[in-house]
Structure 1
Amino acid sequence: MSQPGVSFAPSRAAGSFVDQLKARVVLLAVFVGSIWATFFLSVSMPFLHLNRHGVVPRTLSGLQGILFAPWLHAGLWHITANTGGLLVLGWLTMWPRIANFWQATAGAILGAGLCAWLLGAPYSVHIGASGVVFGYAGYLVARGVYTRSIISILVALFVASSYGLSMLLGALPLYPGVSWPSHLGGAIGGIIAARLSRQSLRP
């Protein structure tokens, strides 16, 4: 005789997976949406001069930009270029646990901001979420190295093949007006975050 409730186990499992998907979709939508909302606020109210709150190297007031810079962008082309990486790579950091997304994001923001503050040109202002994108990439590649699980290694290979060259060039002082310190620091921050949280990365 079958036990009551046994036949419902697959439904509960499916429901749990759907709930996990929904939670991740909502979190990523809120995070990226907040960046776009800040951009629209900056465009619609230029008198607020929000972009001045980016990272200003080696100034006390410029330290605030470490936290604010990822939400500030120079124009539509700038935020659009960063959105794809935030969505794709940000989504990949959410597995196996949502906590991994927060680890990667914190490491990327701190790494990008601190490196821009330390290495950026005097009197420059560093804004944009590209450092976070680089941080996610560094985190995902490092995760494959540290966990050595099949899925993590495949994700790392995908990231390296899809973003590797552009990431490498973007982290070097080759292009005027591009915040290479943010890119370099973001990648380093992502790698350090993966290193510090390598136990929680294991599925």
Structure 2
Amino acid sequence: MVAPAPAPRRSIARVLPAHPVPAALTMLAFTALLYVIEIVDRVTSLGLENDGIISRNLSGLWGILWAPLLHGGWDHLLSNTIPFLVFGFLAMAGGIRQFVGVTALIWLVSGLGVWLIGPDRTSTIGASGVIFGWLVFLLVRGFFARSLAQIGVAVVLLLVWGSVLLGILPGQPNISWQAHLFGALAGLLAAALVARADRSKRPVPLPGL
């Protein structure tokens, strides 16, 4: 009689990336790219901050691709740096392919939300929509996965960064609550889709075996 092989650890139930050093280096490189872009914007006359999302303007749709890479100055970028690094690193726990899919969904949905209901004649830029999406993804995926470890991480994140979720409420000057709100909704959707895909990969034991 051959004992069944142990089931592989579900990717959604991981707390940290399976290969933490490459994951950390990837996020550091991603963050360095944001700083390089900001340096270029500061030392040239390109005016990259004007290439963000311009709501309900067809040419402004291109800004959905670039907006998370652009920032309105060093203070803006610095305020996003730590959560960008931490949330992005933790979101890699399911592997690089899952991370790319989750990030792409958040990136696009957040940007489309800004384009649909953002302020007129304004270029909206910044990585905060993606950051909000990652945060909500990390907060809820443990419940979808029924993972106590992931729920524990969510509790810690909520205690440390929970107050930033107020950014989904309108009324704060120079804050794109639209990007935050749609990024958060995309993070919720991403967690549900990842959990559904994870469940579909689990082996189903045959009766009597």
TM-score > 0.5, shorter chain as reference: yes
* CA positional deviation for 1:199: 4.3
Find the counterpart in structure 1 of residue 43 from structure 2.
Answer: 44
Structure 1: how far apart are the matches of 2:116 and 2:21?
39
Structure in which a larger fraction of residues adopt helix: 1
**Aligned Cα root-mean-square deviation (Å):** 2.1
Structure 2: how far apart are the matches of 1:115 and 1:18?
30
Equivalences for residues 135-150 of structure 1 within 5 A: 135-150=133-148
Cα deviation 1:35-65 (Å, max 9, x = unaligned): 11111111111x2111111000000011111
Q: Aligned in 2, Cα 1:110/1:18: closer, same or farther, shift over 3 Å?
A: closer
One-letter amino acid matched to 1:77: D
| Contact kept in structure 2, 1:107 and 1:135, CA below 8 Å | no
Find the counterpart in structure 2 of residue 190 from structure 1.
Answer: 187
* CA positional deviation for 1:200: 5.2
| Contact kept in structure 1, 2:53 and 2:63, CA below 8 Å | yes
Find the counterpart in structure 1 of residue 27 from structure 2.
Answer: 28
Equivalences for residues 22-171 of structure 1 within 5 A: 22-45=21-44, 47-167=45-165, 169-171=166-168
* CA positional deviation for 1:165: 2.3
Give the 3-state SS of the residue equivalent to 1:173 in structure 2: coil
Identity of aligned residues (%): 37
One-letter amino acid matched to 2:71: H
TM-score by length of 2: 0.82
Structure 2: how far apart are the matches of 1:194 and 1:18?
16
One-letter amino acid matched to 1:190: G
Structure 2: how far apart are the matches of 1:152 and 1:99?
19
One-letter amino acid matched to 1:193: A
1:173 pairs with one of 165, 170, 175? 170
Structure 2: how far apart are the matches of 1:165 and 1:201?
30
Structure 2: how far apart are the matches of 1:30 and 1:101?
15
* CA positional deviation for 1:201: 5.6
* CA positional deviation for 1:100: 3.1
Residue segments in structure 1 that go unaligned for 5+ positions in a row: 1-16
Find the counterpart in structure 2 of residue 10 from structure 1.
Answer: none
Structure 2: how far apart are the matches of 1:146 and 1:73?
33
Q: Aligned in 2, Cα 1:161/1:32: closer, same or farther, shift over 3 Å?
A: same
One-letter amino acid matched to 1:89: F
One-letter amino acid matched to 1:34: L
